[in-house]
Amino acid sequence: MTSHAPDTSSPELSLAIIGAGPAGLSLALQAARALPTARITVFDARPADKDVSTDARTLALSQGTVQELHRMGIWDPIDATGHTAPIRAVHVSQQQPTVLWPGKEQPVVRISAAEQRVPQLGAVVSYGTLVAPLQAAWLRAVNADEHRLAMRFSTPVRGLKPVEGGVEIDADIAERYDMAVVAEGGVFADQPKLNWPEGVSRDYEQTAWVGQVLLDEHSPEGTAYERFTPSGPAALLPLPPGQVTPGGPIGRRAALVWCVQQGDDPVRELNDTQRLTLLNTLFHSDVGTIRQMSALKAFPLGLNAHTRLVSDGVVVRIGNAAQTLHPVAGQGFNLGMRDVHELLAALKRESWSTQGDAGTRRNQLQRALGQFERKRQPDRLALVAATDFLARTFTQPAPILATLRGLGLGAIQTFSPAKHLLAHTMMFGVR
């Protein structure tokens, strides 16, 4: 693939995107259409021939994210793979009893798409199912417009340096751009710790055990379950029918995220049979019997959240590069897609003329990035605070915290406006 290093005297806006994951590729595709004179280059360390379609990591997409992918023309090819599953209902409950709850049954929050008058609350896809068509669409765009679009595989970015009139990208050679967007965050364990005022880091001393399970055939279809347990939250996300172990039976599947305390991990020392037995004691009876479980992988959990989304007036962070969250709400990727949406909206508000000088372009860029950051902070800070609060309640053994969580669930289910607000926030973020 031919690359294009922007000319520092060029009147066109030049944009470097670091990371060809779903957020970076989504930004590149939409920016290429929305900013028809801009020069856009995507950098990624992975080789061009790596098959991303086989990456089985699970992503929960909110309905807002699904709608964004529809607008991009990407959702139909994703859905056509048969590897997507709609979320038609969400079920949130707690294993510990809520001692002060006056009802006959323990409090449960049940949210349905029908109740919210939407076709679905979201969808579940694998990372590869999402990224492969995004990458293919971006490569087609590059081939059709090589004079201004470029894909730089096998090119890790080693540094960003603000310079006069832009930012210098250190990727084997130094290249200058008007702005750079960091869209490659990785996982918490691989990220450097942040110190105030740069940001906030918190190690929750929890582990997420991730895999797949085979559900009973009578288990409700299309339901996502969140269960608060004494060790931490556990979640089941609907998947299309299939096998969870090689040669195993084909049936109704769910992705499992099982969070536990590192200091008192009930999962690590158990064999597969023991893990399955324990897992069947955790979830609400509505789930039914979990018949089989795949091998599990462990990931340390923590919080890394940058205070600012824009630094030095030319470097923007989105997605996991801006905030890496606990998976308790399943909103990390959706937050990144909302970053993409607002960044594009801010850039589109400006009239990027090829006749303008560098000073005019710099003022436009500062204005646009300032608007982007102001618009995004309420949504991201609200979600960071909510997930951080929930995650930290599991590190405290005080029974009162479990009671407060249970009372909160009961209040949400009972008070319809609160439940509608929660559902709307899950689907579209804080607006």
pLDDT digit string, tens, across residues 209-231: 999 999 999 899 999 999 999 99
Helix (H, G, I), strand (E, B) or coil at 96: coil
∠ CA 410-388-404, nearest 5°, is 25
Residue 8 is predicted with a pLDDT of 43
Q: What is the DSSP letter of 179?
A: E
Does pLDDT of 4 surpass 70?
no
- The CA radius of gyration of the chain, in Å to the nearest whole number, is 23
Q: Which helix (H) or strand (E) holds 380?
A: helix 358-393
Sketch out the chain's domains with CATH numbers: 14-56+128-200+303-392 (3.50.50.60)
pLDDT score of 354: 66
Residue 99: the pLDDT is 84
Residue 356 has pLDDT above 70, yes or no: no
Q: What is the pLDDT, as a whole number, of residue 362?
A: 87
Secondary structure (H, E, C), 189-221: HHCCCCCCCCEEEEEEEEEEEEEEEEECCCCCC
From 239, 300, 249, select the one nearest 56 (Cα to Cα).
Answer: 239
pLDDT recorded at residue 430: 85
